[in-house]
Amino acid sequence: MQFTTRLTNNLDRLIFPLPVCDQIRWESIAAGDDTAASAWRAVVYLPDIPNHHIVVPSFACLTKDYQYQCSLHSQEPAETSTLTPVVSAGVDPWQGFMAPTPSTKHIQSKIDCWHTSANCADLQAELMLYLPKSLAPPENDLFTLSIRPIEQDAGIIGLPTDTVVLEPPLPISQMQAPSEIAKRICSPTATTMAVAGKDAAILWPDAITACYDPNTKAYGKWPLAIYWASQQQRLGTVEALAGWADAETVLRSGAPIVCSIRFAKDALPGAPLTQSGGHLVVLYGIEFEQNEGFALVMDPAGDTADHVAQRYPLQAFSDAWLRHRGGAYVFGSGTRDP
């Protein structure tokens, strides 16, 4: 199955390249003794999800220093899986959050998503939001839940047939960072290229700091990249895309896409990495030459900025990105004036 819902508290003003279908219905909950803070809860009811599917929750708002936590509840059987709270770098999580729970019999808890290991019915996703400096719910927010098979056949995915090419983002090589982190920071590097424009090189160190996850000791946790972008006033989501249609829509809106790819040895011709179990790149175009398609990509694994821009065979790139999970960071351009 394939399912995505996008919700916002600002339906009339939000500018986002993919459909946003409804409002977030926030319910106020007790925030403790802090009179300057507030806490909120939102619940989304999901369709029954078959075995071997990925469920990706995503939230962002433009409120300063927000914190949140996502949980997935199954009624048949009765199980709950709660992810680690998402907070700004160097800040302790709110004490009102629930303790993260390990995988259950039917729901596998991953770093930033869930995998189903059996058919799950009567599901609901819960978002708990803590605002340390606001008594009102966020005015600009975006809550997304996307579901697709973990593995998908290339024949179902298909390939785009039309050219769409954006201006290339400012190139940044992750390999120019200190050697102890250079091979680990593809996510903040790709995100900076995708959202920071001409200021990408200046903001890159801040993105690296913001994307470090003290729980996993890694920089690749998807929600932290979205969080950092939101604090730069860019709303975005992590989504599990099931095919090229949404990706083409995003590109035609003028926004590049950060793509989570993985590929076996020599399966992505011309890539700086010979193979990868997980890597983030920026897709900014699709073009064709004598009926052969190519993905235009800024690959942060290039050893210098001059080697970041890459042109990958479209089928090979599609296999690396969309066959397994299809993870993507999608960003909007902001909000309309009232």
- Mean of the per-residue pLDDT values of the chain: 95
Query: Residues 6 or more apart from 158 whose CB is under 8 A from it?
Result: 243, 244
Q: What is the mean pLDDT of residues 20-26?
A: 95
The Cβ of residue 106 has, within 10 Å, a number of other Cβ atoms equal to 19
Put simply, whether the predicted model's pTM sits higher than 0.95 gets the answer yes
Structure confidence at residue 136 (pLDDT):
96
Task: Kindly write down the DSSP assignment for every residue of 252-321, as one continuous string.
Answer: HTT--EEEEEEE-TT-STT-SSS-EEEEEEEEEEEEEETTEEEEEEE-TTSSSGGG-EEEEEHHHHHHHH
Between 75 and 193, the higher pLDDT residue: 193
Residue type present at position 276 = S
Mean pLDDT, range 263-272, rounded to an integer: 98
Q: Which residue has the tokens 């986002």?
A: 16
Q: Give the torsion through C-alpha atoms of 169, 170, 171, 174, to 10 deg.
A: -100
Q: Provide mean pLDDT across the span 175-188.
A: 98
| Percent above pLDDT 70 for the chain | 99
User: Which of 60, 234, 28 lies closest to 136 in space, CA to CA?
Assistant: 28
Mean pLDDT value of segment 59-81: 92
Domain residue spans of the chain: 3-150, 156-335
74: confidence class by pLDDT, cuts 50, 70, 90: confident
* pLDDT for 2: 95
- Quick check: 102 and 89 in contact, CB under 8 A? no
Per-residue pLDDT tens for 55-68?
999 999 999 999 99
Residue 12: predicted pLDDT: 87
Closest CA to 86 of 195, 205, 227: 227
| DSSP structural state of residue 199 | G
Q: Fold for domain 3-150?
A: Jelly Rolls (2.60.120)
Model confidence band, residue 336 (pLDDT cutoffs 50, 70, 90): low
pLDDT at 334: 63
What is the per-residue pLDDT for 338? 59
Residue 248's pLDDT band, with cuts at 50, 70 and 90, is very high
- CA 164 to chain centroid, in Å, comes to 22
Structure token pair of residue 263 = 């590929």
Residue 177 CA to residue 3 CA, distance in Å, equals 38
pLDDT tens for each residue of 28-39: 999 988 889 999
Nearest one of 57, 41, 52, 74 to 5, comparing CA atoms: 57
- Please report which confidence band the pLDDT of residue 78 belongs to, taking 50, 70 and 90 as the band edges: confident
Q: Which residue type does 219 have?
A: Y
Q: Name the CATH topology of 156-335.
A: Cathepsin B; Chain A (3.90.70)
Residue 335's pLDDT is 63
